[in-house]
Amino acid sequence: MTLGEMIREKRMELGLTQQQLADKVYVTRQTISKWELGKSQPDQISLNLLENSLQFKCITERKEGRAQTMSLIRDLFGLIFFGVLFLPLRMIWIMVRKKWKTRLVQYIGIPLAICLYTGYMHSLTVTAFYVVLICTILLYFGLRIYFPLNQSADK
């Protein structure tokens, strides 16, 4: 049974309309409909409010179990990915440091490395991820302007 089916079943059992449940959870009726149809999933705050409104404990437990499984898979993937890529990345870093002051490295290589690193560390929501990525690139170029190439700290 999906989460949406559980929400619908419990709502009907309690004799609530979608609008009444929406009022209790502080969302729109359309949002409740989307949850019941499986078109979207409630966030954690809404899930807690649903749990209280529907007097239903299994929703959070089921969601937490799935989140734990996904977290374990993500951690294992990260460990393998990091373990396999760490040595080659370290070797690339050493080669880049030798040619640190060239414009190609300064304006293409390092921003590309920042983008790859940020992509690898992608644990934020999509919107927050792009905001952090853009801010990181802007910060880098701002530092490049403030500290010109000929005044680099690494010699």
Q: pLDDT tens digits, residue range 15-51? A: 999 999 999 999 999 999 999 998 988 888 888 888 8
What is the reported pLDDT for 155? 46
State whether residue 38 is helix, strand or coil.
coil
pLDDT at 150 over 90: no
CA distances from 134 to 27, 104, 115 (A): 32, 20, 9
- What is the band of 149 on the pLDDT scale with cuts at 50, 70, 90? low
Specify the pLDDT at position 69: 72
Q: Which of the residue ranges 6-10, 99-103, 111-115, 129-133 has the most confident prediction, judged by mean pLDDT?
A: 6-10
118-122: long-range contacts at Cβ-Cβ below 8 A with a sequence spacing of 24 or more? 120/81
